[in-house]
Amino acid sequence: MRATVALAWLGIAAAQAASPYALVVSSLGDGAPGAQGGPYRADPAVGGGGRTGAQAADAASGYAGLLTDPVALAAAPAEPSVPEGAQNALGAAALMDDGTLTALEPDWVAWSVQGGPLTGIDADGLAWAGAVRAPALAEFGAAWGGFDAGGAFWVEDSDPDNFGPVAGDGLPDGWQFDHFDTDADGALDASELAAANPGADGDGDGQSNAFEWLAGYDPGDALSRFEVELLGVDGRVATLRLSRVRPGVRYELRAAGLPGAAPGALIATLQPEAEADGVTVEAGWEDGGGERGFFWVDLSDPP
Ligand SMILES: [Ca+2]
Ligand SMILES: [Ca+2]
Ligand SMILES: [Ca+2]
Ligand SMILES: [Ca+2]
C-alpha cells in the first residue's frame, strides 16, 4: 500500500518554512497501531472450555443418579481472546457439593449478552464478536438450574479501520476517536465526524489528519506539525532536517528544478527503525548547481 504525499517546497536560495502541504492518499499498513490484544485472565474454574462427554452431561441434566447436588454454576469461553467478527464457544459447568465440576452441554444453558462488543450468542453457546476500535472485553451471562454465572473474553482490534462511522476511511479508528471524540461519549456526532475526516485540517496547520497520523503529529494542535528545514547546499549535496521520522514510514526526499536532474528525482530515502526527532539527511544528485531548485519529502507506509 502506498500513502502519501505531503510536502514541503524549499528554495535553495532561501530556506523558507515548509509549505504548502497536500495529502494525496493514505492507507493503513499491517503494522498500524492498536492491533494488539490486551491481557486476559480466564476464569480458572472451568477447564477445557467446559465440554466433556455426554455421560456426565446426561447425569447432570435431570440430576438422575447423582449422589451430589449442584451448588453453583461456572462459565468460561473456549478462547481468552478472538479477532473481530469471529466466534467463541462458551462452556459451562456445575460445581457440585463434593467440590467436583460437572460439565453441561452448552444448549442446556441460557446465554445472554451482558456488555461489550458481542453481537449475539446462539443456543449452542457460540458467541459472535462485533467490530471494535480498541481491544474490548465482551461479557456474557449464563443461567442454568436456578444458578447464574458470567464470564468474559477479549475482542482484538484485528482490523484497525472497520469501526462505526469512521470505518474504511484509511485512518485507524482508535486514533480518530482518541483525537476527535472530544466529549468522550464513545460516539462521533456530526461535527466530530466531520473533524475526523482524513482530509480535514481542523487545527489549521496546513497538514491533513491523514498526513499528521502518518507523520506522528497531533491533529488538534497547530503547533504540532511535520516540518522540513533546508540547512544548506554544498555543491551537489543538500542537507535537510526532518522534524520527526517514525518506524514503518518511508521518507523519500525528492528534488525538482535542478539542472540535469529529472523532475521529482529521488535523491534520498529513509526507512527508520525507530522514532527520532530532528533527523539530518544529506542528499546528493548527479548534476546541478543551479540557482534555484526545490526539495520535498514524500511519506508513505509501505506494505
Ligand atoms: Ca477494529
Ligand atoms: Ca477509520
Ligand atoms: Ca492539521
Ligand atoms: Ca497539527
One CATH from 3.40.50.300, 3.30.565.10, 2.40.110.10, 2.60.40.1080 for 48-156: 2.60.40.1080
Residues flanking ion ligand 3, Cβ below 5 Å: 201, 203, 205, 207
The pTM score is 0.70
Output the CA 159–ligand 1 centroid distance in Å. Answer: 4
Output the CA 290–ligand 4 centroid distance in Å. Answer: 34
At residue 287, the pLDDT reads 61
**What is Dmax (Cα atoms) for the chain?**
98
Delimit the domains of the chain by residue range. Answer: 1-26+198-303, 48-156
Angle at 294 (CA atoms; ends 289, 298), nearest 5 degrees = 130
Output the CA 191–ligand 3 centroid distance in Å. Answer: 16
Q: How far apart are CA 226 and CA 20, in angstroms?
A: 12
Q: How many CB atoms sit inside 10 A of residue 190's CB?
A: 8
* Residue with cell string 514503518: 248
Ligand nearest to the CA of 198: 2
96-111 mean pLDDT: 95
Output the CA 94–ligand 1 centroid distance in Å. Answer: 35
276-280 mean pLDDT: 96
Burial class (CB in 10 A: 0-12, 13-18, 19+), 277: exposed
Provide the sign of the torsion angle of the four alpha carbons 302, 203, 7, 225, taken in this order.
negative
Output the CA 192–ligand 4 centroid distance in Å. Answer: 16
Please give the residue that has the higher pLDDT: either 263 or 159.
Answer: 159
At residue 12, the pLDDT reads 35
Output the CA 15–ligand 4 centroid distance in Å. Answer: 22
119-138 mean pLDDT: 97
Mean confidence (pLDDT) of the chain: 80
At residue 19, the pLDDT reads 35
Q: How far apart are CA 291 and CA 274, in angstroms?
A: 36
Name the grid cell of 167.
470505518
Q: Tens of pLDDT along 234-244?
A: 877 889 999 99
Q: How far apart are CA 76 and CA 95, in angstroms?
A: 13
Q: How far apart are CA 201 and CA 286, in angstroms?
A: 38
Question: 280 with 239: CB under 8 angstroms?
Answer: yes
Residues flanking ion ligand 2, Cβ below 5 Å: 161, 166, 169, 171, 173
Evaluate if residue 96 carries a pLDDT over 50.
Answer: yes
At residue 68, the pLDDT reads 84
Query: In which region does residue 173 sit, left (phi positive, over 0), alpha (psi from -120 to 50) or beta (all else)?
Result: alpha
What pairs with residue 240 in β-bridges? 230, 281
Please give the residue that has the higher pLDDT: either 238 or 133.
Answer: 133
